[in-house]
Structure 1
Amino acid sequence: MRFLKPSLIWPLLTGLLLGLLLLQVFPELAGQGGESQSSSQVQAEVMASEPLLIPRQQGPVSYAQAVRQAAPSVVNIYTTKVIQQQLNPFLNDPFFRHFFGDDTLPRQQRMQSSLGSGVLVSSEGYLLTNHHVVQDADEIRVALRDGRETFARIIGSDAESDLAVLKIELDNLPAISLASSDTLEVGDVVLAIGNPFGVGQTVTQGIVSALGRSSLGINTYEDFIQTDAAINPGNSGGALINPYGQLLGINTAIFSRSGGSQGIGFAIPSNLAREIMLDLINEGFVIRGWLGVEVQELTPGLASSLNLETVQGLLVAGLQRNGPAHQAGLQPGDLLLEINGQPVTTARDTINYIARLRPDSTARLGILRDGETREVRARVRQRPSQENRR
């Protein structure tokens, strides 16, 4: 048997130990060829399944600055009106009133109070609030956040949009800045400021849940911002603001089965509120266009019964005699396709669009009659119910 020389044993042991050490530090050196490729594939699959880091816009962690800017412009409104009551309920019977007369029957007066909110939109003292907040009020008292109180007078009120303009006579009034409601998107953060249940000025936070809400049966003209910011009785007429403290809308109504907030509130957009405010201040009433046409939305069944090949457009269901549409030559049964080149969609949107047309302007109406499209021109007039001047 032959033995290695002692001089060769130590280099071999040193090399073996060094190799073992390298395998411990770099275990991937143990795999070669197909095994290495398989390991790389597994690693690629694992990396592909890792969540992606999506960059997000940085938002504020506090809305205190927005509240500090907007809150002084939001006021509490307290209204009172005198209610006449008969002392005896039998005296309300027409039989007794016929014999005794209304003037001779004893009556009792009582004061009915209600509360709401308003927004200072001008340093000159103009306030925006809801029509239903000040409706039939004999006295309107406004309380500012800085502790001042004063009486207000109604400049104008519009029941069809549920907006009213008040005016107070005080100095150094903090007016809010208006933002364009046209820039709003669903998901934007909003804050509601008002006086819910009379507890005092309160701020709630939420997002824009929907835009252009209509057909709710709240007002004649509806184009609401829907929000889940808590709105409760007393918030009516208050401010819906953005995170910069600018006015986006006037809080108006809630959808609720209990009477409290259930996360579905509605506000009148600031752009629409501004238009109505200027009309009320300058004219005393809201200027609205009118064509004297009644339209009905088409359903597949209705279109089939009329032998129509399309369900697009609105059916002309009626015309006001000698109204603009009647004088322009529209007929019941015509299909209204567009106004001024804009396709009509729903009856509610069409009513809102016509209302925004200025009186004495010309409206181009695209219609379908007897299978042929044609255009008629109608001269827009002032809506008759709005012709009550100051």
Structure 2
Amino acid sequence: MQEFTFAPTAMPPAAEAIRTEVRAFLTEARDTGLYTPRRHSWSSFDPAFSAECGRRGFIGMTWPESYGGRGRSALERYVMTEEMLAGGAPVGAHWVADRQSGHQILHHGSERAKREILPKICAGTCFFGIGMSEPDSGSDLAAARTRAVQVDGGWRITGRKIWTSNAHRAHYLIVLARTAARSDSNRHAGLSQFIVPLDAEGIEVRPIYNLYGGHDFNEVVFDGVFAPDDMMIGEEGSGWTMVTGELAFERSGPDRFLSTVQLLLEIIDGSGPQPDRMAAVEIGRKVAELATLRRMSTSIAGMLDRDLRPATEAALVKDLGTAFEQSIPETARRLLALEPRIDREDADLAALLGHTVVAAPAFTIRGGTREILRGMIARGLGLR
């Protein structure tokens, strides 16, 4: 049976220097009114804040300077990310592009795509969505039915994608599509990925409103949308390899256990310097879980820095991390004398709790359902 040790990864001095730099920036940004700390910072959308992050060099940090990046390590980027999330910064507009889409373009895209798109991502002016999930297929990405048919100079894409966050205001999707029929012996064969501008002819974006009335999700319909040959990522048929590599970034970062950190901090503050026994035990348990998840996540960041592909380890962090996030509002309900309420404005603690209660059920769905992830983990451990 395969074992995973999650060896500890020490943060280099350069990473701690970045921590100081980001904290100073966030303090300045709050003091000048550039932002107010949000409930869930990576599901926000604030183009002005993203542009300022780009100006400060906090987007595309690990990418080469020739494409607008800063040539930093994955661990330095990790520290920047956790400071942004812990500070409640509204990073959602550039989040997907910085976390995964830009990385895919950098390593597997054409030179045209790199030159045209990466500098705009680094500047905080170009935003991406994820075109993976489809209706009726859940987290089974190998069941994709969206098709790309080769034509002169490129491909015509027809099909549907769903749960595409921010498709109504992003600039591009990376779309997973079938370029060949699925093989009975290998259901992952015949998949390819394409960079598709969301203002292209033949695209329709249909809103999906969530439980509290917000519009984050969408269904995207492709009706013969043209994608040039040089907007394919990687080789034809390499889509599954591209996707699994991309999901290692999506599933392992601090966004998979810090979504509700603002509420956890409120629980700690609300319990005071001398919490009763129950509060001390519950808070201590959550802080210990958080420390463990952070060690696992930083370990994966170190693996990614060494160009490894820790897909199973990332699935494990995502499964444990989102379960941790879901537990925070229940802890708050037990420890705080407070009635949650639904209020779409970033107001007080009751609204923060109410928003988190209704949002939390989705945490173990986004980025791959718990059932799919546990199947991946079992296979990775050699248990099935």
Q: State the TM-score, normalizing by the size of structure 1.
A: 0.21
**Which is bigger in relative contact order (C-alpha 8 A, separation at least 6)?**
2
- Richer in strand (by share): 1
Q: State the TM-score, normalizing by the size of structure 2.
A: 0.22
